[in-house]
Chain A
Amino acid sequence: DAGVIQSPRHEVTEMGQEVTLRCKPISGHNSLFWYRQTMMRGLELLIYFNNNVPIDDSGMPEDRFSAKMPNASFSTLKIQPSEPRDSAVYFCASTRLGQEQFFGPGTRLTVL
């Protein structure tokens, strides 16, 4: 089992640029979560999907953030335009029917 796959692992961009983070959940898992981790705020849930449908996006900080899950094996988190305060590690996690959440390795985003 390949586990949750995230890409890129590292992203450095300039303020104002569009950033797209990608996630491939574990095959057979039907729930997908996007988290953001910072020193100040810890791990925060941004949004999660069940069966490709967004269930709760109350953690999405601003309209600059959007997430999609076009099919069961792929999700994106987009930030447009990016700002320096968006710098963080972004994790994707997946689970089957509310069981253990398996986390990906994360994408470290730096916005200059």
Chain B
Amino acid sequence: GQQLNQSPQSMFIQEGEDVSMNCTSSSIFNTWLWYKQDPGEGPVLLIALYKAGELTSNGRLTAQFGITRKDSFLNISASIPSDVGIYFCAGQINSGGSNYKLTFGKGTLLTVNP
């Protein structure tokens, strides 16, 4: 099945720094998604990307859908302590009908030192 390679596995940064993480795949996806998971909670969607080359922002977050449809990155600018958590990329192949499966990366654990 499809696999997503997410990097880095973990990051330790100072408050105010910018952060970048990415995902690559050997398979093509039609949709790329970025989720954040806080301790003891389920993942929450941050950004969804639907077109190759698409660049989308959500506040301090910016994500891009790679031209080849096999990769995506997420940037966080001016990090703050509440950015702490695990960030997951997820790819979806919309093959029509009722196929809405997501494949998740292993996650990037972000720690922000105040």
In the complex the two chains form, is B98's CB within 8 Å of A50's CB?
Answer: yes
CA distance A48 to B94 in the complex (A): 15
Chain B residues with CB under 8 A of A93? 42
In the complex the two chains form, is A100's CB within 8 Å of B48's CB?
Answer: yes
CA distance A65 to B112 in the complex (A): 39
In the complex the two chains form, is B88's CB within 8 Å of A105's CB?
Answer: no
Counting contact residues on chain B (CB < 8 A from A), the size range is: 20 to 34
Which B10-42 residues have C-beta < 8 A from chain A?
A: 33, 40-42
Chain A residues with CB under 8 A of B94? 98
How does the 8 Å CB contact mask read for B77-111 relative to A, with 1 for contact and 0 for none? Answer: 00000000000100000100011111111110000
How does the 8 Å CB contact mask read for A70-98 relative to B, with 1 for contact and 0 for none? Answer: 00000000000000000000010101001
Q: How many residues of A contact B (CB 8 A)?
A: 22
CA distance A45 to B103 in the complex (A): 8
With A42-B105, A42-B107, A43-B88 as known contacts, state yes or no: A100 contacts B100, CB within 8 Å: no
> A43-B104, A43-B107, A106-B42 known; 7 other A-B pairs, CB under 8 Å?
A4-B42, A43-B88, A45-B102, A48-B101, A56-B101, A91-B43, A105-B42
List B residues at the A interface (Cβ < 8 Å): 33, 40-45, 48, 88, 94, 98-107
24 chain-A/chain-B pairs, Cβ below 8 angstroms: A4-B42, A31-B98, A42-B88, A42-B104, A42-B106, A43-B43, A43-B88, A43-B104, A43-B107, A45-B101, A91-B43, A95-B100, A98-B94, A100-B33, A100-B45, A100-B48, A101-B45, A101-B100, A101-B102, A103-B42, A103-B43, A105-B41, A106-B41, A106-B42
